[in-house]
Structure 1
């Protein structure tokens, strides 16, 4: 049975209005029911999705964003200074005392109490003593031993080595070399190697070539038989299994899948329009049932009452508090100045000191004469050091 017709006709009837080229009658038949069913399934999902999106945005705007700003402020204004203070305290208690102990106590004690004396002893005592001992050992022990080795032992050793080498070759090397060259090598060559090589070349090589040709021919026949059997099996599988599966996938499953995917997309968009319409209706009802009365109550009742409280209570109380704070600060400043003056007078009465001039009495510096350290009232101020002492 053939389901796919030409793009213009379906059987003996005219093609549907939304018929697309390359589609079969099955695609056109299942399109509308599939879209209706998918729309009924997708509308609740889309409305729940839009509700979750709105709730997530409201939660982010109302809770998460202020919470993030508050956490950032706490980190910058509280945790960072506290961390810096704890770090400074940890350094002051755990690091700086040990650094000071190491730098100002252990290093000087070890340097000037141990290292410097040891270096001085090494340079001034041990080094000259070592050089002297090395000179004595070199001239009293090493030089005679070196002369004896070079003049006596080395020539004697060379002679003994030549004699031992000649005797070793004569006794251990030359007999075995002659035995191998003139007896073992000819016997092995002409008694074993030459027959084995002749047997390999004249018998085994032709026999191996024949066996190889026979096995190659048998292998080619078996391979041709296997290729024929494999080709037959492949054609049988293709005809009985692959071709029906491909036809079902191409003419049934693929059109149904494309229509379901297109139906899901269309239904998702339609559900979005429906969800937005429902949301606008809920927003209109909430505004007219709750927002408008709340705004009228705020504008009609709360705003006038707040203005009355602000003008009648808050501003006078704020002004009175500011004046009281100013008076209190002035009183505290005056008391602080009085206590400071009394403390200076008490200190002057106990230990003495220069008399502090009053605020209204002018202070005139007493000038010094040139070349002297005494001061003369009314004299012109001169440099502290005379020209004669300067140069």
Structure 2
């Protein structure tokens, strides 16, 4: 037997394609039996979760914008100064020169030594390679008979059908979650609109009606019948007080002296001078 001739590896059995009837497993009754109860149950479970999620999302956006984002940027700056800059310095001034030294050692020292060892041990290496090849073939067939073939049978006849059924269940649950999440969003928006409408009709519209039909006419009546007369009375009282104060001053100190007329040395209208006079 030639020591250098490698034993021919037996070709592995290619998995036979499954027939079309097995690849597309009928799902009609199973899908109908699973889909409707799962979607109803998931909708009832997801609706309060979606409402809570919307509220938490609004709070989280507020916290993120005004609390977490500034803190995160500050932490990022601190980490960049404490970790990134020292690591860049370590890579640039320590690891890169060390890597170049190792490459030079491998290329200039270890590679020639390896070539010399291979040149001295070539026959023994071939024998060892043949032994390892035979051992590998024996281990391959042992593992194929004891492990691979039972595993393929287990997968084909047990795990694959179970996996298909579980895939249908998981797919239906995922679709039910998606539908329930979207429906819960519609319900949440509808609830928000209903609450807004109720708030408007219970509080805003009555308050607007009271302001428009009660308070505004009452305010006009109060203005016309109370405020204006009170203001007029106050102004009349003020005028009377000023007049009384003026009369009291005249009674105590007499009439105030009027300023004497000042002669401006201007001729009267009858003796008006002309250019001829």
What TM-score does the superposition give when structure 2 sets the normalisation length? 0.41
Structure of greater relative contact order (alpha carbons < 8 Å, 6+ residues apart)? 2
Instruction: Compare CA radii of gyration and give the structure with the larger one.
Output: 1
What TM-score does the superposition give when structure 1 sets the normalisation length? 0.30
